């Protein structure tokens, strides 16, 4: 009994570091951190996303509990009706929250929010929901704090569904124009996931991790980048883009395998994209001008200040694997 009393009096083990703790310790801190599924900082216990039900337009916040989305409250709140996700909260102190995107240059209409219960999965053995985009859906934050502008370096990743994609423009997450209009080459820098072949492509038939740097989805600096091999057969994918002051990198792989992450390209940008002219908004599920013909699924993602090291990339991917994405 005494031993049991002593053990119960010991302090609880500190929570495991999240991706943003890893980036911060490496000197490339998160300036935006969005997730439908889990906390991205060890000590984050705030809101993840906001749902609105169609029956009476009331809203409810889904929060973190023991590191994961506490979806029981969502299930109760949305019982007997439909709910949409109207906001995905930024877990950093910068407040770069993603709201449903307004009118844009390509879409000419406001974007719909995703169905809050359309896509169920498990993380760490607990049921959570992902953001399932079906076209005509998108989020953005046009007024941000701390996101790279001009030719400043940045790093970003997202975890996405490996088997839910198309060739439409553009299932993106990352840096974009601040007014939802196309301002020309180099005015955005975002992760793209899909099998578009309209501007550039990797080897095979896709899908690929590419960079949307406006007026082009690029698998590398060339029209066909043989080093950028398709990621096939993975239920969950880690996708990364790193934008440097004089080049960029693409990484991707199976988000459930510790050996899954591969560097797909690192080198110069395509012609006429250097230096970059990034504007610093953040988009999800759409292109910089709100092109909204793509489909895809978003689970989590971050944008950082600075160009992360290879070791940091591997550590973040290992953290994603350890989170335990599954069906």
Q: Please identify which of the residues 90, 214, 225, 254 carries the catalytic annotation.
A: 214
**Cis geometry, peptide bond prior to residue 170 (ω within 30 degrees of 0):** yes
Tokens of 126: 């607990």
Using CB atoms within 10 A of its CB, is residue 99 exposed (0-12), middle (13-18) or buried (19+)?
middle
Q: Is 267 left (phi over 0), alpha (psi -120 to 50) or beta?
A: left
Using CB atoms within 10 A of its CB, is residue 255 exposed (0-12), middle (13-18) or buried (19+)?
buried
313 is an active site residue: no
Q: How many C-beta neighbours within 10 Å does residue 258 have? A: 13
Continuous H helices in the chain: 2-9, 19-25, 72-77, 310-323
Cα 271–Cα 305–Cα 303 angle in degrees, nearest 5: 85
Q: Please identify which of the residues 289, 292, 300, 313 carries the catalytic annotation.
A: 289
289 is an active site residue: yes
Q: Residues with catalytic annotation?
A: 214, 289
């Amino acid at each position: 009994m005494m031993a049991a009393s002593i053990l119960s009096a010991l302090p609880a083990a500190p929570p495991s570091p999240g991706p943003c703790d890893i980036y911060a310790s490496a000197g490339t801190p998160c300036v935006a951190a969005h997730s439908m599924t889990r906390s991205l900082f060890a000590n984050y216990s705030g809101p993840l996303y906001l749902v609105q039900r169609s029956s009476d337009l009331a809203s409810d916040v889904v929060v973190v509990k023991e590191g994961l989305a506490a979806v029981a409250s969502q299930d109760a709140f949305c019982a007997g009706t439909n709910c949409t996700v109207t906001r995905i909260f930024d877990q950093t102190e910068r407040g770069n929250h993603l709201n449903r995107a307004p009118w844009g240059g390509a879409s000419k209409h406001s974007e719909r929010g995703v169905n809050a219960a359309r896509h169920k999965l498990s993380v760490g053995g607990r049921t959570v929901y992902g953001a399932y985009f079906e076209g005509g859906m998108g989020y953005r934050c046009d007024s941000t704090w701390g996101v790279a502008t001009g030719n400043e370096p940045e790093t970003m990743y997202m975890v996405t569904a490996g088997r839910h994609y198309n060739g439409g423009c553009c299932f993106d997450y990352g840096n974009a124009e601040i007014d939802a209009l196309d301002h020309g080459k180099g005015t955005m820098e975002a992760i793209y996931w899909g099998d578009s072949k309209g501007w550039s492509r990797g080897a095979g038939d896709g899908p690929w991790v590419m960079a949307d740097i406006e007026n082009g989805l690029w698998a590398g600096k060339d029209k066909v980048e043989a080093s950028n091999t398709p990621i096939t057969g993975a239920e969950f994918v880690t996708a990364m883009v790193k934008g440097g002051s004089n080049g960029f990198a693409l990484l991707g792989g199976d988000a459930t395998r510790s050996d899954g992450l591969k560097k797909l390209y690192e080198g110069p940008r395509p012609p006429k994209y250097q230096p970059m002219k990034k504007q610093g908004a953040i988009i999800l599920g759409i292109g910089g001008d709100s092109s909204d013909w793509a489909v895809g699924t978003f689970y989590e993602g971050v944008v950082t200040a600075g160009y992360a090291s290879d070791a940091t990339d591997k550590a973040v991917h290992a953290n994603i694997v350890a989170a335990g994405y599954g069906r």
